[in-house]
Amino acid sequence: MRSFPRPSRGRRARLLAGAWILCLAALPAALHASEPGTAGFLSLRLGTGARFAGMGDTGVSLASDATATYWNPAGLAAETSTSIALQHNEWLETVRVESASLAHATQIGVFGLLFSGLYMDDIQRRTIPSSIDEGSFNFYEVVVQGAYGRRLGSIAKLGAIDAGLGVKGLFSGLDDEKASGWAMDVGARLHTRIDGLTFAVAGQHLGPEMSFIQDGFELPVTLRAGGDYQRHFANQRTDFVLAYDLEVGNDDDPRNHFGAEITYMDLFSVRGGWKTGFDTQSGSFGVGVRKAGYRFDYAFTAVSADLGNAHRFSLAIDL
Residue 2: the pLDDT is 41
Q: What angle do CA 273, 277, 283 make, to 5 degrees?
A: 25
Average pLDDT over residues 45-70: 95
Range name among 57-71, 158-172, 177-191, 272-286 with the lowest pLDDT average: 272-286
Ranking 48-57, 101-110, 252-261, 298-307 by mean pLDDT, the lowest is 298-307
Q: What is the pLDDT of residue 67?
A: 96
Whether residue 3 is predicted with pLDDT greater than 50 in this model: the reply is no
Q: Please tell me the class of the 9-123+136-318 domain.
A: mainly beta
pLDDT at 305 over 70: no
User: The whole model's pTM is what?
Assistant: 0.86
Digit-coded pLDDT (tens) for 246-297? 999 887 789 999 999 999 999 999 999 999 988 777 889 999 999 999 999 9
Mean residue pLDDT of the chain comes to: 85
pLDDT at 130 over 80: no
Question: Is it the case that residue 160 has pLDDT exceeding 50?
Answer: yes
Handedness of CA 141, 181, 77, 27 (dihedral sign): negative
Judged by average pLDDT, the poorest of 32-46, 106-120, 156-170, 186-200 is 32-46
Those residues whose C-beta lies under 8 Å from the C-beta of residue 72, and which sit 6 or more positions away, are 59, 60, 61, 63, 164, 185, 187, 189, 200, 201, 202, 224
- Evaluate whether 86 touches 99 at the Cβ level (below 8 Å): yes
pLDDT of residue 98: 95
The ranges assigned to domains in the chain are 9-123+136-318
Alpha helical stretches, state H, the chain: 9-25, 50-54, 68-71
Would you state the pLDDT for residue 224? Answer: 95
DSSP class of 252? S
Weakest-pLDDT range from 77-86, 178-187, 229-238, 277-286: 277-286
Distance in angstroms (rounded) separating the CA atoms of residues 8 and 232: 36
Tell me the mean pLDDT in the region 164-168: 96
Higher pLDDT, 7 or 177: 177
